[in-house]
Amino acid sequence: MNKTKNALFSYSFIFPSALLTLVLGIYPIAWAFRYMFYDYKGYGAARFTGLDNFSRILKDTQFWDSVVNTFIYAGGKLLITIPLALLLAAILNRGLRGRQLLRGIFFMPTVISTAVMAVVFFTIFNSYNGILNQFLIKFNLSDTGVDWLGPKYAMLTVILVAAWGAVGNYMLLFLAGLQNIPEDVYEASSLDGAGRIQQFRYVTLPMLGPVMQMVIMLAIITALKGYESIMVLTEGGPVGKTEVMFLYLYKLFFPVGGGSAAVQVQEFGYGSAVAFVSALIVGMISLIYFYASRRMNQTD
């Protein structure tokens, strides 16, 4: 009797979040699962097309270009973010003066809306009157400024902006991990004659393994799925140079631009298929990473 009561009690707690997950999580996925086999433009009847959407994906060079761009973007973002976050965490973990304030400052980008952050960066990087170019011209470092959002540097710029937004978040997670390493391990190692660098290499890094594995995992998934700041900065341009997988996908569902009188056609069916393949790519990379990094989870 008591057991049933307990179970009922537990279910009543789970119910609201389960309901939300069902409505906002499972239902849209099931919806997309169905429509990836259909041609559906948001009106009229959806037409069953079997695997047509998938054979279109195979031929869709724009999509595969966006996959390559995603890897460049995610790779670049990770290469900057992870070492920098770890370095900052290691520095701020020490008894540095004003470290609380610094932690707050570094974490701040995480709480700022991505779109607002991207708008601010747009005013810094834009080519015709951006703050950065005005600075470069004023101090004679460049005659005409650099086309930061042009074909040559746009990807670099969006990576830098993304890294700036992410570093504080991962720094905090590393910091939490660092604070869990017992002080006596450091004491023991220093008695054995280890210097600071050796301590970092042989104590900090191995003991940070499980946290590191999780942080990198999170960073990979977030970077592969990120597109919001790119949308504000370049809309994926110029000519697709910064078009990442999820931005391409977003535009299939909600076409942007076109101006007045250009009638936009939404591609729900094809978009669903692209969403599925994109999710598969992110899932596979996560799995590969998880397998390759399994040793990081072993602290002993």
Residue 4 interacting with another protein (CB under 8 A) = no
| Whole-number Å distance between alpha carbons of 80 and 85 | 8
Residue 139 interacting with another protein (CB under 8 A) = no
| Whole-number Å distance between alpha carbons of 297 and 204 | 14
Residue 12 interacting with another protein (CB under 8 A) = yes
Nearer to another protein, 18 or 284 (CB): 18
Query: Tokens 């290499």 appear where?
Result: 201
Residue 31 interacting with another protein (CB under 8 A) = no
Residue 259 interacting with another protein (CB under 8 A) = yes
Nearer to another protein, 174 or 250 (CB): 250
Question: Which residues lie across from 47 on neighbouring strands?
Answer: 39
Compute the least distance from the CB of residue 121 to another protein, in Å. 12
Q: Which of residues 213-252 bind another protein (CB under 8 A)?
A: 233-235, 237-240
| Whole-number Å distance between alpha carbons of 104 and 107 | 5
Nearer to another protein, 9 or 291 (CB): 9
Q: Which stretch binds another protein (CB under 8 A): 77-85, 98-106, 209-217, 262-270?
A: 262-270
Q: How far is CA 129 from CA 76, 240, 271, 280, in A?
A: 27, 23, 37, 41
Residue 54 interacting with another protein (CB under 8 A) = no
Compute the least distance from the CB of residue 254 to another protein, in Å. 6
Residue 260 interacting with another protein (CB under 8 A) = yes
Interface residue list for another protein (CB under 8 A): 8-9, 12-13, 15-16, 19-20, 39, 41-44, 47, 56, 59-62, 126-129, 144-145, 147, 149-151, 154, 233-235, 237-240, 254, 256-265, 267, 270
